[in-house]
Amino acid sequence: MTMLATFWIVLLVALNAPAGNGQSVQTDPIKSGFVGDTVELRCVFINGKPPVKISQVTWQKLINGTKQNVATANPDLGVSVLPPFKDRVSFKHPAVRQRSPSTLEDTTIVFSNLRLSDEAAYICEYTTFPAGNRENMVNLTVFARPVTQMTLTSSTIVARTPQRKIPVASCMSANGKPPSVIKWDTTLNGEPTFQETRNPNGTVTVHSNYTLLPSRETHRQKLTCIVTYHTDRFIDSVILNVQYEPEVKIEGFDGNWFLNREDVKLTCNADANPAVTVYQWKLLNGSLPNNIEIKNNTLFFKGPVTYEFGGTYVCDATNSIGTRSGLVEVNVTEFPNSPRFDDPDIPKAVHSSGAAIGGAVGGVVLLVAAIALLVFFLRRRQRTFKGDYSTKKHVFGNGYSKAGGMPAHPPMPKNLQYPDDSDDEKKPTQISGPGGFESADQDFDGNSEDLKRPYFTVDEGESRDYDERTLPFQYDPEPEITDDMVSQNDGSVISKKEWYV
């Protein structure tokens, strides 16, 4: 609404304030409607006391300070609607529509098929006698619902190299009044742009483009445009159709191609839009083996695997957008890497060789174990017959002087103790009194009674029938050492036969 129109509204409201005699004109200050709709502009005359006579009622359109007659009602002259409102404006009250209106207190008019040009301030003016003119104004606002549309900028969007951002979809809300608000709903990483254009008829067209880098990742992605106009919402979506070069990947090499393996192949898989039309295979630094069959995008290797199958294989895939390549390095080994013997791709010969290898390894393990056991028993035997206390008899006392010319042994206790559960040498332990062990340089009485009581160590196996490990023994005087006996440094004697074993 212009400042001039606002001024007129304020002025007319002031002029139409109730007079001292109580006559006034009542209208709705503001009315609105959409293009094509129907709207009522109310006008009612409040007569005071003493009542006045209504001579005529006139509706006028106020445009830029100029009044334009719309319709009139006169008790004597009848009703008249002037162009360009003749077919779209009428008085609502039946008594006013008559050829000779019988009453003019309610002169509300009805606008049908609203146009944008109908938006203006309208004055309802009463001519009375003798009070003069009384009037009031209503401001009519006309809205226009926009025409919305969402489209792809092109039926096919091409992702080219180098990449650059391009508009892929357009959303438009045209000829709206007031203008609409456009938003985008998508998971794509793009940027929207907005533009408003004001039309001569007072409407506004809002246009928005969505720009992004087209790629294979954006293909078949959804874009949704949301247009908000007053309380109305328009939602439309499109699916992007992005064309791009092939994305190539060679499958089939599992890192376990070994000699004599059979039924191996390489497949060139390409993700492309549009689809790939041509596949081409080649081997870097050489030519493809003779025993290869090419079917569409697959290389079939005939016969068992040989070292000739090794190398770098390249697959070129071509569509209408361009050509891309993929490669794989094939290594051939002599034996399989951790083969699974239930794998049908591994030939029986490989199964047999694997079993043979396993048997050989097992035999080596058994042989090493046998040698270890043999060495253990030999060492055990050597210890048994060359000084092991578990089997030799120990003779003390006079036996030292006879066997080896050793000095007299110090007095020994009558009882002997042995360490529990030991395979090591079972050495006698002296149990002394409070004074502990006697000094090594102490003089000993060779005629002592203790020296006349020889004792020996009993094999642990022989002592299992006794309740105690400490065994006292009383023997006759020491046995005589014969010629076939050999004296040991520890006081024991064994036969020469045992000594030389």
Q: Encode pLDDT of 390-449 as tens digits.
A: 444 444 444 333 334 444 444 444 444 444 444 444 444 443 444 443 433 444 344 444
Q: Give the residue-averaged pLDDT of 27-47.
A: 95
Q: What's the Cα-to-Cα distance from 20 to each of 55, 56, 57, 127, 309, rounded to whole Å?
A: 20, 21, 21, 17, 115
Window from 52-61, 146-155, 173-182, 465-474 with minimum mean pLDDT: 465-474
pLDDT at position 7: 45
**∠ Cα 127 128 132 (to 5°):** 85
User: Rounded to an integer, what distance in angstroms lies between the CA atom of residue 400 and that of residue 377?
Assistant: 32
- Give me the pLDDT at residue 285, please: 85
Residues 6+ apart with CB under 8 A from 272: 244, 245, 246, 247, 317, 319, 321
Q: What are phi and psi of 389, to 5 degrees?
A: -70, -10
Strands 232-239 and 191-198: unpaired
The first and second tokens of residue 157, run together, are: 């969007």
The pLDDT of residue 492 is 64
Q: What is the predicted pLDDT for the residue at 13? A: 42
Highest mean pLDDT among 7-16, 259-268, 380-389: 259-268
How is the beta sheet containing 204-212 ordered, strand by strand? Answer: 147-152, 166-176, 204-212, 191-198
What is residue 257's predicted lDDT score, i.e. its pLDDT?
A: 97
Q: Which helix (H) or strand (E) holds 251?
A: strand 242-251
Paired tokens of 13: 């409201």
Q: Which amino acid is at 204?
A: V
Is residue 135 within 8 A of residue 220, CB to CB? The reply is no
State the Cα–Cα distance between residues 142 and 118, nearest whole angstrom.
Answer: 7
pLDDT of residue 47: 87
Mean pLDDT of the chain: 77
What stretch of H or E contains 8?
helix 3-15
Contact 303, 309 (CB under 8 A): no
Percent of the chain topping pLDDT 90: 53
| Amino acid symbol at 156 | T
E-only strand ranges, 130-241: 132-143, 147-152, 157-158, 166-176, 181-185, 191-198, 204-212, 222-229, 232-239
Q: Where are the domains of the chain?
A: 3-143, 147-240, 247-333, 347-381, 386-501
Q: How far, CA to CA in Å, does 351 sit from each of 339, 342, 347, 362, 398?
A: 9, 9, 7, 16, 75
In this structure, which CATH number among 3.40.50.11540, 3.30.360.10, 3.40.50.300, 2.60.40.10 belongs to the domain 147-240?
Answer: 2.60.40.10
Place of tokens 């895939």: 317
Beta-carbon count within 10 A of 297 CB: 18
Over residues 375-400, the mean pLDDT reads 51
Predicted confidence (pLDDT) at residue 254 exceeds the cutoff of 80:
yes
Q: Do domains 147-240 and 247-333 have the same CATH topology?
A: yes
Of 131-135, 173-177, 352-356, 473-477, give the range with the top mean pLDDT: 173-177
Neighbouring residues of 328: CB distance < 8 A, sequence distance ≥ 6: 250, 252, 253, 266, 312, 313
Which residue in 39, 62, 202 sits closest to 121, CA to CA? 62
Decide if domain 3-143 falls under CATH 2.60.40.10.
yes
Tell me yes or no: is domain 247-333 CATH 1.10.2020.10. no
